[in-house]
Amino acid sequence: MPPLYGPDVREKLRERLLVLYRRAFGGVAASEQHLQQMAVDGADESRSVEQLERLQRMIGRPLAGTKMLEVGAGTGLTVAIARRFMEIEAYGIEPGEAEYDGTLAVAKDVLRDSGLDPDFIQHGVGEAMPFADDTFDVVFSTNVLEHVADPAKVVSEIVRVLKPGGAAQIIVPNYGSWWEGHYGLPWFPHMPAWLGKLYVRLFGRDAQFIDTLQLVSRGRLERWLRPHAQRVEVLDWGVALWEERVRSLNFSEYSALSRLKGILRVMHALGVIPLLIWLGKVFHWETPLVLTFRKRG
């Protein structure tokens, strides 16, 4: 797949994202290097390609020719790549406010620099999507649900705008697991917010950021999905994907994931990976949660 745009444009995007991320996550990230890695990842086209190819495999149908919505379009790279190289009629929504102040403008500029209409990404929130019922063949959202005001409403809206027979995928950190990716720290499963704030303070991090998070777990996501049980069929929770990544260590080291991979290497050396996977399946430690479902026809 050819590059979306040249190295000069990519470098300017990284610099722009670094300014935004320093402002939003300066007290959250582990270090300046962590922030710089976030900016590199945010401008990395291969990350969007990887996400779209995995989405295609997990929903069990080609994405080419589909009408797709990305809820939380971020930098706009996924929408741009989907349209330019994968024959997907892709759209996105992005709030661009609070901790994401400036990202909507970035996303629109990415579309312009890619020769696309910037209005393919609209201002919007997941709780009130500006689209009619039964509009999209595919709805995709990654690392968004933990940041919204009303996760149950976002899930409901995804079901609403999805066509009968269409598929959706929601990727979200699992706070019932042992890892917190924003801070890049080990985490105690199901730790309440008040205790989490005390915990991150021990590492000198901004505890107030936790107040902006929905501490999503598999049980909570199942509860938000339950009102739609007659309308949707769950295809996958990402357990096999998590197991394969833990066994093989074959996953990209985005953000602070290099630190997580280091922890897993130690566990491999200690020979405890089979026990970890067994316990993880029992207690739903898989992270992230990768919920894939189909709307019944």
Q: Is residue 189 part of a domain?
A: yes
- The dihedral of CA 42, 47, 51, 56: what is its sign? positive
Q: What is the pLDDT of residue 256?
A: 84
Q: Is residue 185 part of a domain?
A: yes
Q: CB–CB of 147/215 below 8 Å?
A: no
Q: 172 forms bridges with which residues in the sheet?
A: 289
Output the pLDDT for position 30.
Answer: 87
Is position 245 within any domain? yes
- Domain assignment of residue 54, yes or no: yes
CATH label of the domain that carries residue 256: 3.40.50.150
The pLDDT assigned to 191 comes to 98
pLDDT at 4: 86
Per-residue pLDDT at 142: 96
> In this predicted structure, what is the pLDDT of residue 252?
86
Assigned domain for 65 exists: yes
Which tens digits make up the pLDDT trace of 125-154?
A: 999 999 999 999 999 999 999 999 999 999
Which domain range does residue 110 map to?
7-295
CA distance 286 to 50: 19
User: What pLDDT shows up at residue 186?
Assistant: 96
| Amino acid at position 4, single letter | L
> How does strand 136-142 pair with strand 121-123?
unpaired
pLDDT of residue 9: 85
Q: Does a structural domain hold residue 2?
A: no
Structural domain count of the chain? 1
**149-182: per-residue pLDDT in tens?**
999 999 999 999 999 999 999 999 999 999 999 9
Q: Which residues of the chain fall short of a pLDDT of 70?
A: 97-101
Answer whether residue 252 is part of any domain: yes
Contact 277, 286 (CB under 8 A): no
pLDDT value at residue 179: 96
| In-domain check, residue 139 | yes
Q: What is the pLDDT of residue 223?
A: 98
